[in-house]
Structure 1
Amino acid sequence: MGALSITGIKPGSTSLKLTAGKITKTVPITVLSRNLLSYGPASGNGLTATVNTDGSLHVTGAAARQWAGLVWTFPCPVQGTVILRAPTFIAGLSPSVKFLDAKGHQLDGQVTSGGNAVAIPAGTVSLRFEILSSEATPTAKDGDLRVQLESGDTAHDWMRPDNTSLRGGV
């Protein structure tokens, strides 16, 4: 039995027509985003995030304190190695992804923007995407943020995630 790998250019639905001899089969294909993050509107700790039409986040406000901010938790969609990049960032805000077990407890390690690729620890069930203030005295923010978590150890151009309607908070 052979294997077939298909890489889509942009997310959406299409089909693939396969022919072997006199048999032809059309197979539906859904192309998913390379960006594994899930996020959406959120408010808390002095910050507010809304989703722009292109799927990026617009963040406003001043965090209540250092290392406070916004959080989204969602099921871990992959295993293996992941890398996080923020090609469009807001100075003073630090995006990261932490790994959670079935009870919601944080496992060892995290992946940070600009850092190396990280192996997802065994037992990871959920991911927690955080945007936290890295400033000792947080200042007001008003800007757009593009963050991408993807499988492997190579970062690619930013792509809108499939889920931009996940409610976040603190």
Structure 2
Amino acid sequence: MAEVFSGGVSVTGVEPGTTTIDIKSTTNPNISKKVPVTVLSRNLLSYGPASGNGLTATVNSDGSLHVKGTASSQWAGIRWTFPCLVHGAVTLSRTTSIDGLTVSVKCLDAKGGQLGAQINTGNAGTVPAGTVSLRFEILANEATPTEKNGDLRVQLESGDTAHDWMKPEADSSGGCNT
């Protein structure tokens, strides 16, 4: 599917991989061009193995996160900070959850300060202008955290509609949330 915008063409792929787009002139049938394209994941999150505050996350072969351990306190957990690739409306969704853990994304300025409200699952949010990085967090929301052992499939994508989960394109090192 292609959408035409003033100044260019935007192509949205159904699944990641490589393909070719055949562009043909409607006014001159002799003018055409085949353009190779690589379709990337719609999932904008970036994460990798991490541990901190009693929780450990590893990346499963399908790209989902396996989280285990007991958080050291309420609102403690693991986070990943990575460059912001999009501004405007975004949706954070998850197809799996682990009781007692919450996921969110925070928008950060160049100095690491939070811009706007955090983005929570189930609602469309906004990545404001001036955002240079995003911080994906998995935090314990129990007053007295209990042991966890499960998989999470979380997706951050452009727009206000959640689509089927896709493995993120990029990995990022993680750290602990203090």
TM-score above 0.5: yes
- Could you tell me which amino acid in structure 1 is paired with residue 121 of structure 2? S
Map residues 5-154 of structure 1 onto 2, 5 A cutoff: 5-20=10-25, 21-114=29-122, 116-154=123-161
Would you say how many aligned residue pairs link Structure 1 and Structure 2?
168
State yes or no: 1:159 paired with 2:166: yes
Ranges in structure 2 where 5+ consecutive residues have no aligned partner:
1-5
Cα distance in 1, alignment partners of residues 9 and 108 from structure 2: 32
Cα deviation, residue 14, structure 1 = 1.6
Cα distance in 2, alignment partners of residues 74 and 2 from structure 1: 29
Larger CA deviation: 89-98 vs 103-112: 103-112
- Could you tell me which amino acid in structure 2 is paired with residue 73 of structure 1? T
Cα deviation, residue 6, structure 1 = 2.5
Cα deviation, residue 48, structure 1 = 0.5
What is the CA RMSD across the aligned residues, in angstroms?
1.5
Change (3 A) 1:78 1:65: same
Larger CA deviation: 3-12 vs 127-136: 3-12
Equivalent pairs: percent with the same residue?
A: 66
Query: CA-to-partner distance for each residue in 1:44-87, whole Å, 9 max, x for gaps?
Result: 11000001111100001000100000000011110111111111
TM-score (norm 2): 0.89
Ranges in structure 1 where 5+ consecutive residues have no aligned partner:
none
SS at match of 1:63: coil
State yes or no: 1:168 paired with 2:174: yes
Query: CA-to-partner distance for each residue in 1:137-170, whole Å, 9 max, x for gaps?
Result: 111100000101111111111111101x311011
Cα deviation, residue 2, structure 1 = 7.6
